[in-house]
Structure 1
Amino acid sequence: MVPNAAPYGLVADAAIVVEAGVVAWVGKQADLPAAYADAPQHSMGGRLVSPALIDCHTHLVHGGHRAREFEMRLNGESYAAIARAGGGIISTVSATRGASEAELLASALLRVDALIAEGVGAVEIKSGYGLDRATELKMLRVARAVALARDVTVRTSFLGAHAVPKGADGDEYLDDICIPTLRAAHAEGLVDAVDGFCEGIAFSPAQIARLFDVAGELGLPVKLHAEQLSHLGGAALAARYGALSADHVEYCTTDDARALAASGTVAVLLPGAFYTLRETQMPPVAAFRSQGVAMALATDWNPGSSPLGSLLLVVNMGCTLFGLTPEEALAGVTRVAARALGLADRGQIAPGLRADLAVWDVAEPAELAYRIGTNSLHKRIYGGVL
């Protein structure tokens, strides 16, 4: 998955040398340097080896479910209308506030185990279902605990600006709850990035900018749910702040694509939410390509708009729904996903990078995008450990 190599950077009859959990050399087995000739060897049986997959946008820590809202949407209610009526994010807030840390961890581990079983080696987990200090901090502590309980890298995102609590004023909530909680979470070492939901049913660009100013003061990178349901200016805002990523981005324009490219911000495409909400506005993949915007894919695993627990299915959906090539889709859950999380040490198989690998029972990489509902993982290698 090294950029600008042959398709996929594929190397036939390859060998990978791993030392202390890091790739030391990779190339054709016939070219193996003499210094490694006597090293212990482990045959992968001619299988395809890729970087371990990376899910760069999830909400794995939450209480409850929203199956009833799924029924409501199928009966004609819109996502925005359900949210305004007290459903949506707010209903999950109630369930998450009522769950203990142990309960939240147990359910989160079930979800992360499903991702690990598909070759995932790193995952992002957001807060955002608390909307109060105690619950937001609880969610972030649980996210940190996931990484202690499983062999997986977890990057946390503070998403206190996910929704305005029922009956509250957005600006007052930011000043009295969200920003003070961010400062507290940062002081506890619980935050790797700051996220927000920039949308008519959530927060305006001006409000998100105030939050991002505090993130900058704390030295934290930012990312943003942007242009999912309408064009509000979130993508331009993300670009202005040099965000790691702008996510959803269905309503992005060509001007937005230029701004994202100039800032190096990744566009994270989330076909699970597009599919579940039965949206028709697709992200402007052609504009992203033409402007040189890197595109990642992720599950957006959450209880409402994307109850999707398969990153392999997302790879297929990125191709079938959004028109990505299989190579773009695989890059979107490896190399580009790593960039969307600021993880410079993985996402490719290259010397000096962490040896997080996935071994697949497939003949060629396109099979990972082609197959639907099939898990072809033979083995996941995390930090060089077989």
Structure 2
Amino acid sequence: MEPLELLIRNTSEVLTVEGSHREPAERALTPQPRASVGVRGGRVAWVGPEERLPPGAVDAATQVLDAGGMFVGPGFVDPHTHLVFAGERASEFDLRCQGATYLQIAQAGGGIVSTVRATRAASEEELIQWALPRLQRLLEYGVTTAEVKSGYGLDLENELKMLRVVRRLGQLTPVELVPTLLCAHAVPEEYKGRREAYVELCVQEILPAVAQEGLACFCDIFVEQSAFTPDEARRLLLAAKALGLRPRLHGDQLTSGGGAELAAELGAATVDHLEHVSEAGIRALAEANVTAVLVPTSTLFLRMRPYAPGRRLRDAGVNVALGTNVNPGSAMTENLPLAMGLACLENGLTAAEAYWAATRGAALALNLPSHGRLAVGDKADLVIFSCSNHQHVPYHLGVNHARTVLKSGRVVARMGTANCSS
């Protein structure tokens, strides 16, 4: 065997996460007790007992990392973030704590449109400098791949600006970024009372420009009484599919608006939020193999009930993923382990299901078949944790247990510090 460049040894277990969401999650995590992980060329080259390593696998040049009897698993994949933005909305948080609702804040001129004003006024360089610390925190929590949405530009110039920032950030940080166009996040102030005209702008100008520059993999839309209708979403997402952008939806968050059923109809990659999903919607998602992305940090942050029915979704056979939804208004946190703990406490998932949802389940949501697992030949995106089993991650609520983070076989973060240079 050609010598390994890196060997991780002395683990309690290695979770390779090579199973399916349709089997019990403990089995789907495919744990290998006391296994070692070998890396060569930035990819997993060996997983198994160290005593079974072939002759010549380890030589004087092999870097050895001692896991200290703790567990190793794939790097987290965050499938839902809004981490490129300007400004902050701490005053809205204070109002919410005093009893104001999401809709009341938006009707008073706050909410998404306030972030749009700040983001439009910011330069690309400013947006990059403000986003880098957020990416650093994601990395320190063990996130090696993250989806990033636009949606705070809401016109051609600024949606393109945001997505160009995402592309540049992907060149500046070890975190692999997956860009999503979310031009239909809200109706901008200049189109107030003319929502159909704004949808027309998205379809006729923004979508083609984004596709021409290759700036996004997905197209998302917020389907809600206060945002866009199912018919408007259908029109936008069919146009996106024709241009090669796979559909995603924010759906059934504040009301039961048929978002899940529409996602199934369109063959969307995901429908996200789902606090008010119907039983018919759950069945439709399972039949259409659409991933449900849950963001319980947002439900907590907005002081809302109910939480999305993660238990019913899993039991119906739906692939469930977990995201931070990091954004300035409804989930100002980069803490994915907190989302995992909340998913167990409030969405009804087990610890194994939460771990699946933050790794393999999220990777499948982003159409990344070789991410979120540690099979031989996959990218060596992995985390050495400071606890001996995956159950401790959601149990020790919101605490960061990512001791060492590797991206493509390179150490990019250690407990308390991260390296966000390329």
Q: Name the structure 2 match of 1:169.
A: 194
- What secondary structure sits across from 2:332 in the alignment? coil
- The answer to whether the aligner puts 1:341 opposite 2:357 as a matched pair is no
Among 36, 39, 42, the alignment partner of 1:15 is: 36
Report deviation, 1:368.
1.1
Q: Name the structure 2 match of 1:116.
A: 139
- What secondary structure sits across from 2:38 in the alignment? strand
**TM-score w.r.t. length of structure 1:** 0.96
Q: How does 1:37-48 map to 2 (within 5 A)?
A: 38=59, 40=62, 42-44=64-66, 45-48=68-71
Letter in 2 for 1:199: E
Report deviation, 1:34.
4.1
Q: Name the structure 2 match of 1:2.
A: 18
Q: How does 1:23-172 map to 2 (within 5 A)?
A: 23-34=44-55, 36=57, 38=59, 40=62, 42-44=64-66, 45-166=68-189, 167-172=192-197
Runs of 4+ with >6 A deviation: none
Q: Name the structure 2 match of 1:328.
A: 353
Q: Deviations over 1:328-356 (max 9, x none)?
A: 11111100010111111110111221110
Q: Is the deviation greater in 206-215 or in 8-17?
A: 8-17
The alpha-carbon distance between structure 1 residues 177 and 262, as it changes in their structure 2 partners (threshold 3 A), is closer
Unaligned ranges ≥5, structure 1: none
The alpha-carbon distance between structure 1 residues 177 and 238, as it changes in their structure 2 partners (threshold 3 A), is closer
Q: Name the structure 1 match of 2:207.
A: 182
Given that 2:254 and 2:276 are in contact with CA atoms closer than 8 Å, whether structure 1 keeps it comes out as: yes
- The answer to whether the aligner puts 1:246 opposite 2:271 as a matched pair is yes
Task: State the identity %.
Answer: 41
Q: Is the deviation greater in 42-51 or in 358-367?
A: 42-51
Given that 1:69 and 1:82 are in contact with CA atoms closer than 8 Å, whether structure 2 keeps it comes out as: yes
- The answer to whether the aligner puts 1:293 opposite 2:318 as a matched pair is yes
Report deviation, 1:321.
2.0
Report deviation, 1:35.
6.2
Report deviation, 1:177.
4.3
Q: Is the deviation greater in 227-236 or in 68-77?
A: 68-77
How far apart in 2 are the matches of 1:373 and 1:266? 24
Given that 2:43 and 2:409 are in contact with CA atoms closer than 8 Å, whether structure 1 keeps it comes out as: yes
The alpha-carbon distance between structure 1 residues 178 and 64, as it changes in their structure 2 partners (threshold 3 A), is farther
Letter in 2 for 1:261: A
Report deviation, 1:73.
1.8
Letter in 2 for 1:306: A
Given that 2:202 and 2:236 are in contact with CA atoms closer than 8 Å, whether structure 1 keeps it comes out as: no
Q: How does 1:220-231 map to 2 (within 5 A)?
A: 220-231=245-256
How far apart in 1 are the matches of 2:56 and 2:349? 41
Q: Is the deviation greater in 66-75 or in 322-331?
A: 66-75
Q: How does 1:267-286 map to 2 (within 5 A)?
A: 267-286=292-311
- What secondary structure sits across from 1:11 in the alignment? strand
Report deviation, 1:28.
2.2
Aligned residues: 386
- The answer to whether the aligner puts 1:196 opposite 2:196 as a matched pair is no
Letter in 2 for 1:16: V
